[in-house]
Structure 1
């Protein structure tokens, strides 16, 4: 029995498993392959949705997506990878396992960058994981006990990139509801978006103007060209010496690849990602692939794939297809994903959809919000309890363009 181990249960990991199973079936080798996903828990966390007010739909039990296609799941933390003996060491609360592999995929995703800022780890919230997002929810629910304190209804969001903008715009309505629930006037709510650079620095001028319009209309204050010096339970101190009172500080300032990439004897990029070829094979290793936020790979001739589910899911499908093909000495398929778009939630204001790597504005306002809801609740969600549909969608290049997914009314919408 050939053993395929996939480290990581996110989008790249799940679709690597599904892609491997599908390819084995195509080659009539499904009875010769055992696929196992090693993950910290037994859920696929829809990480892009952790900013939302309702977390009830952001986790999918593996029982509903891995079990139907015959993939095993082992819960635990990966402590080591022995490339010479082709084994992975996994520890759980009750046991330590040594798992042999014939092919390995590192799809362990990324983690939030946490620089050495006093108070960051102790006092800042985040939406990096489901558990951290849940902790933020609990904190907001408990604000009623702190109504008399300065900054009770003030939130400081650090990092004005994609995640920070979605968190800040969502926090407007969330804090207003908390204030109303506590019997307070929602006008006391104050949201501050802080960044050492500019708001939406990765966007071009046209979409950035839309984002700034939305922030202004929502009453969100932008503080740029300044960094955070320290964080406490009741606020932050900026590098210019200004002190801001807030009982809620949310850190969203960047991510880096899983620390597991450090186990690999190869040079990583500044995000910690592994160099892979166009087949998603880790350069300089044998029988090892990487996909998603752990992989540094070109999406087209000039653009490196981004650390997002938009690129992680297709990469997983290619990695699973290719490692199984290689396992049985069949041809692999080069990964490519030339189409790129963004779909940004802007809270009560609506949303923003851009097209292409130059981020041309395709749609804004409530029409774009409708697209974002469709993306979050349908486009990125794998089929549940349906082996046939899961395997259909695990094909490389299966609907990896937003324009293929959107209903006709959205494609015809104009800004």
Structure 2
């Protein structure tokens, strides 16, 4: 039980709509509120949108308009109430939470509490990592990475020293899961598209380096598809270092565990995620990784009216011999089951994964669907079709289709918008 003293100093609590309070407006939390429909719910989220993370690499490369890979929560969940803010205390006995908003602290009462706080980038105590590495988890991260890559092209074009130019055109990605592989593939395509406007850089080698401690890249998918992905990347002269760790990173160099020293101004950290650390402050049952322990009904162990799902929970699957991985397709099925359990007799959660998909840049991809393994253009097409199917709201689907259609006929835009959101003050 976690009781915060500040709860007693607030005004009378407002009640969650329908008695259901959803903490977190990511994929899992948003879909719980959406599935509840007219019964209503209250969502507490720092943003007023849900990010569809599988489209993040394409937003970073400019294939998609960034706003098109997010869905406004008020549109997606028209019967839900949204509170922009963050929960900083939970009282499990009084069934209230303390929410910090721009308008000051509020207390919200609930009958059923749903925890869907998601995950944060998993970091390690590597010298220089927090100071010099770039993250790739949020929409802001994707936009920042795109602007950074384009800025490196500009800096390389202005450099008079060949070594400096080469360092600016070297990009290191640590973590060869979905996020790292897809982001590297998309951004390398962006850089190649942009080079037609940088004639001074065409003779300079562009160096892309992918690093992972695992024996192979994309360990989540069947080895033949992972091997194809590695071969495809190597055919583009991407350096793939498996069974290799990052030792240190500075402003101008990354040092790998095999002794390789890579002069670079860009290191992107995509080496996994960890549950939201806020969960440790609420006296909830957690596993060794910090995930909330839930039973097969998605109910938090020892708390009848508290539920958890998504990346922040260890969710047992009755149709699998291991807990669910942190993917959107699992979060969606968990959300559907949890919403049904909130309004009717609770039933165990079980879901057999339909397949796995990943893009490898323009017109290349891999997919395993119902046991059928696809690669190349067909794998790319299936991957895009699956993401389009999963994306909520017809208007968002239409916008994404338009972006994809435009990208078939025109190269990616190379405008760097680093000043976006940072206007100069008057006077």
Identify whether the pair has TM-score above 0.5, normalized to the shorter chain: yes
Contact persistence 1:195–1:225 (CA under 8 A): yes
Contact persistence 1:64–1:384 (CA under 8 A): no
Instruction: Measure how far apart 1:251 and its partner are.
Output: 0.5
After TM superposition, the structure 1 = structure 2 runs for residues 274-313 of structure 1, keeping only pairs within 5 Å, are: 274-299=292-317, 300-313=319-332
The range that moved more, 240-249 or 133-142, is: 240-249
Partner of 1:112: 121
After TM superposition, the structure 1 = structure 2 runs for residues 376-415 of structure 1, keeping only pairs within 5 Å, are: 376=387, 378-384=388-394
Contact persistence 2:294–2:316 (CA under 8 A): no
d(CA) in 2 for partners of 1:78 and 1:179?
Answer: 46
Instruction: Measure how far apart 1:169 and its partner are.
Output: 1.6
Output the TM-score relative to the length of structure 1.
Answer: 0.82
CA RMSD of aligned residues (A): 2.1
Change (3 A) 1:105 1:292: same
Instruction: Measure how far apart 1:205 and its partner are.
Output: 2.8
Partner of 1:353: 367
d(CA) in 2 for partners of 1:202 and 1:321?
Answer: 29
* SS state at 1:38 partner: strand
After TM superposition, the structure 1 = structure 2 runs for residues 96-135 of structure 1, keeping only pairs within 5 Å, are: 96-135=105-144
Change (3 A) 1:382 1:350: same
d(CA) in 2 for partners of 1:293 and 1:162?
Answer: 15
Instruction: Measure how far apart 1:319 and its partner are.
Output: 1.3
Contact persistence 1:160–1:198 (CA under 8 A): no
Partner of 2:400: none
Segments of 5+ residues of structure 1 without an aligned counterpart are 326-330, 387-415
Q: 2:352 aligns with which of 334, 338, 342?
A: 338
Answering whether residue 213 of structure 2 is matched by residue 213 of structure 1, we say: no
Partner of 1:143: 152
| Greater than 6 Å deviation, 4+ residue runs | none
Q: 1:369 aligns with which of 380, 384, 407?
A: 380
**Count of residues paired in the alignment:** 365
Answering whether residue 237 of structure 2 is matched by residue 191 of structure 1, we say: no
Q: 1:160 aligns with which of 154, 159, 176?
A: 176
Change (3 A) 1:307 1:48: same
d(CA) in 2 for partners of 1:217 and 1:239?
Answer: 24
Q: Deviations over 1:205-243 (max 9, x none)?
A: 322221222122222111122211222222311234432
d(CA) in 1 for partners of 2:311 and 2:154?
Answer: 40
Instruction: Measure how far apart 1:349 and its partner are.
Output: 5.9
* SS state at 1:293 partner: helix
d(CA) in 1 for partners of 2:22 and 2:80?
Answer: 10
Change (3 A) 1:93 1:120: farther
Partner of 2:338: 319
Q: 1:6 aligns with which of 17, 22, 46?
A: 22
Segments of 5+ residues of structure 2 without an aligned counterpart are 1-16, 397-427
Output the TM-score relative to the length of structure 2.
Answer: 0.80
Change (3 A) 1:46 1:134: same
Answering whether residue 88 of structure 2 is matched by residue 79 of structure 1, we say: yes
